[in-house]
Amino acid sequence: MQAFFDIFDIYLMEAVINGILLGGVLALLALGLNLIFGVIDVTWICYAELVMIGMYAMYFLVQSYGLSYFVAAPLTILLVALLGAALHYLVIAPLLTAPPINQLLATGGVLFVLQSFATVAFGIDFRNLGIRLPVLAFGDMNFSYARLLSFLAALVGMVAVYLFMTRTFTGTAIRAISQDRQIMALMGVDTKRIYLITSAIGGGLAGLAACLLVLQYDVHPFVGLSFGPITFLICVLGGLGNFIGGFIAAFVFAEIISLGGLFSDLEWGYVLAFAFFIVMMFIRPAGLLARRR
Amino acid sequence: MMGQGRLAAWGIGLAALVALPFVYRDPYHLHILVLILIWSFAYTSWSMMGRFGLVSLGHGGFMGIGAYVTALLWNHLGWSPWIGIPIGMVAAGALALIVGYPCFRFRITGHYFVLVTLALSGIVLQVITATRDYTGGSLGYTPNRAPGDKLWALQFDDKITWYLIALGVWLFGIMVWHWVDRSMARYALEAISEDEDAAAAAGVDVTAEKLKITLLSALMTALAGAIYCQYQMFITPDTVSGIAVSLQMVFAAIVGGLFVSLGPTFGAVITILLAETLRIGFGTKAVGWDNLVYGVLLVLFIIFLPKGILGSLLDRLKPQRKVPRAHEQEAVQIARPGA
């Protein structure tokens, strides 16, 4: 066993494993965005801002109301799910027949609204949940429990969504709509209801991601900007609406960020990821898993 | 194309704009006017490609590059902005080509294009923040005050000079807009925005046409960033680059109206006056309220007035002048090939 670890640089191993753990949360975020895009054909530019609101919800539920983390988490997920449904009902539904660009920009406006709402309501201070989870030592490598927990919870969340999509009638209807938008209304599926449910699920996934991210990062109104762009990159690299492609791309990106961060600042990890993305655009323009036509 | 009446109106309007600072000297109002002119130029640059359905959220990146390259060359190497601005523009143009070529070559359009460019502006922000040893990171950056020649350093203390510079740059932007409007490229790009395959079949080089307009737009946006930096003498990553700036450009252009030459300018007037009024109205005690109202208004605008204020007004004034082009219509997309 020891000989096995000697082959690799111990820090390299640690970065690789941390990358995998980060990939879980990124995959969760990408799944929510992909779901919305695949079904409703709308990109929520403000997706990361929903996560930000969820992180604030966690912070206040735990800090101000003294709820335990595991009580606060379902409440937060419910809240952000409602927020997602409201976003669809108030902003997207009136624009369903508008050009796609207008839908996209309207959610961009919501990004402004959510950011400034957080600034007004909560101030621009960095806030920390204040839960310190122990660090797991494994050989010479250290992993935080927060990351491990996030990774596992993200996996559970994704499996739950998968089961919902394949085993229930509503899930089947959602998948059917993403395949053919026009015909499903004729097949007796209430598209409006399905859109609303999908938005709520998308919001719920953002809420779950918020519960996990709040363990690792401080909350502030602009926290969405630090992982919003990377989520979009992941979705495009995986192919918008392609769940499996997004899943794989999330781990690829997480590794690049983690390894880039090992050699330099974290920001340079992002820059490397972007450079990689541009190169991939030349090689696989329609996403990682796209079939060559 | 332009009638005698319109030409005369432009002439009178311009003369009034040039004469304004010599008659009316209130520094605060002049400051607002300079800002409006600089941002109008940036918004016009964005709308050059935005009007053809190429919605880019990467322009915050181009603007940031223009501003930071100019300031960095001045501070670290002592190169005058007269050299630094062209270098900044070339850098932004090169980035536009590097990102644009695969996008256009491999037909990345619509959502994909928006998300790729969105990431671009996010990344430029990250790079500026990451190189904090040189750029000052999130704390911002100030070009050194020039000891001697003000013209060489492109630093002026009085607002009137800046007003005239900004007016000139803005006028240049409007002229380029009209130049594109009357060129063959416009017809090619309109054809592309309606149906790429049909345009390609009709002999339009889709990739080259899109690259040309993207390059032009990026160069102008970088110029706007550099001018903004020279005027304000203080830049932060958040004021000249990033997603917020990109969205701000798109919104202003849409509020004003994308498809008329003065639309983006009109949008700049409205959004900046609105932001200033809200800022003063709410005072310093409530940071963020101005942006909150701003954001709500923008969402309402996109839902209820997608052609923008000026565009809708002009439509009202000249009914049925022309058949609206497909990409300006709000049509239900019935058949979605490949979906």
Residue B104 Cα distances to A239, A276, B25, angstroms: 17, 18, 48
Say yes or no to pLDDT of B134 above 70: yes
Q: Quick one: average pLDDT of A201-223?
A: 87
Check residue A22 and give its pLDDT.
83
> What is the rounded average pLDDT for all residues in chain A?
81
**Chain A partners of B247 at a C-beta cutoff of 8 Å?**
45, 105, 108-109, 111-112
Best of A42, A56, A96, A104 to disrupt the B interface (most B CBs within 10 Å) is A104
A139: alpha, beta or left, given left = phi > 0 and alpha = psi -120 to 50? left
Nearest to A112 among B118, B294, B327 (CB): B294
Complex ipTM, two decimals? 0.72
Q: Taking the CB of residue A5, how many other CB atoms lie within 10 A of it?
A: 14
Mean pLDDT of B100-117: 81
Q: Cα dihedral sign for B194, B198, B204, B209?
A: positive
CA distance B279 to B59: 25
Q: What pLDDT, on the 0 to 100 scale, is given for residue A174?
A: 84
Q: What is the pTM of this model?
A: 0.81
| H/E segment holding residue A144 | strand A141-144
CB atoms within 10 A of CB A97: 11
Pick from B114, B116, B288: CB nearest A120: B288
H helix runs in B51-158, sequence order:
59-72, 81-105, 110-130, 132-135, 150-153
pLDDT surpasses 80 at B193 = yes
A241 or A19: which carries more pLDDT confidence?
A19
Chain-chain contact of B291 with A101 (C-beta, under 8 angstroms): no
* pLDDT of A273 higher than 50: yes
Which of A99, A117, A282 is facing B330, going by the closest CB pair? A99
Identify the bridge partners of residue B14 per DSSP, sorted by sequence position.
none
pLDDT in tens, A20-38: 888 888 888 888 888 888 8
Rounded to whole angstroms, the Cα distance separating A115 from A128 reads 18
Q: What is the C-alpha separation between A49 and A188, in angstroms, rounded?
A: 35
How much is the mean pLDDT over chain B?
A: 82
Judge whether A173 is closer than 8 Å to chain B, CB to CB: no
Residues in A touching B99 (Cβ below 8 Å): 278
The residues, any chain, with a CB within 8 Å of residue A263's CB and separated by 6 or more, are none
Q: What pLDDT does residue A293 have?
A: 42
- Counting residues of chain B whose pLDDT is more than 70, the rounded percentage is 90
pLDDT, position A139: 65
Q: Give the relative orientation of helices A191-213 and A145-167 as an angle to the nearest 10 degrees.
A: 170
Over 80: is that where the pLDDT of B320 sits?
no
Alpha-carbon span A108 to A212, nearest angstrom: 24
B126/A104 touch (CB, cutoff 8 Å), yes or no: no
The CA distance from B265 to B273, in Å, is 12
B303, B304, B327, B329: which to substitute to probe chain A, counting the most A Cβ within 10 Å?
B303
| Predicted local confidence at residue A290, as pLDDT | 62
pLDDT at A11 over 90: no
Residues 16-75 of B with CB under 8 A from A: 53, 55, 57
Q: Cβ atoms within 10 A of the Cβ of A95, count?
A: 21
What is the mean pLDDT of the segment spanning A250-267? 79
Q: Which residues of chain B have a CB within 8 Å of the CB of A113?
A: 292, 295-296, 299
Handedness of CA B95, B100, B101, B103 (dihedral sign): positive
Q: How many helices (H) and strands (E) does chain A have?
A: 12, 2
**pLDDT tens-digit series, residues A166-198:** 888 888 888 888 777 777 778 777 888 888 998
For residues A104 and A97, give the distance between their C-alpha atoms in angstroms, rounded to a whole number. 13
Return the structure tokens found at B301.
């605008």
Which one of B125, B243, B294 would you mutate to disrupt binding with A, by most A Cβ within 10 Å of its Cβ?
A: B243
Pull the structure tokens for residue B218.
């990026």
Q: Which of B5, B46, B2, B20 has its CA nearest to residue B263? A: B46
A6/A87: higher pLDDT: A87
- Residue for token digits 């889709």? B206
Q: Which residue has the higher pLDDT, B67 or A237?
A: B67
Is the per-residue pLDDT at B323 higher than 60? no
Q: How far is CA A159 from CA A75, A129, A154, A165, A189, in A?
A: 20, 27, 9, 10, 25
pLDDT of residue B286: 60
Do A219 and A126 form a contact (C-beta atoms < 8 A)? Answer: yes
Residue B51 has pLDDT above 50, yes or no: yes
CA–CA separation, A62 vs A55, rounded Å? 11
pLDDT at A3 over 60: no
Which of B166, B306, B292 is CA-nearest to residue B226? B166
User: What six digits make up the tokens of B115?
Assistant: 């998300």
Q: What do you get for the CA distance between the two ends of chain A, in Å?
A: 46
Query: Is residue A39 predicted with pLDDT exceeding 70?
Result: yes
- Structure token digits, residue B58: 């990467």
Triad B282, B286, B290: Cα angle to 5°: 55
Pairwise CA distance, residues B114 & B53, whole Å: 10
Tell whether B247 is within 8 A of chain A (Cβ): yes
pLDDT digit string, tens, across residues B203-255: 888 889 999 999 999 999 999 999 999 998 888 888 888 788 888 888 888 88
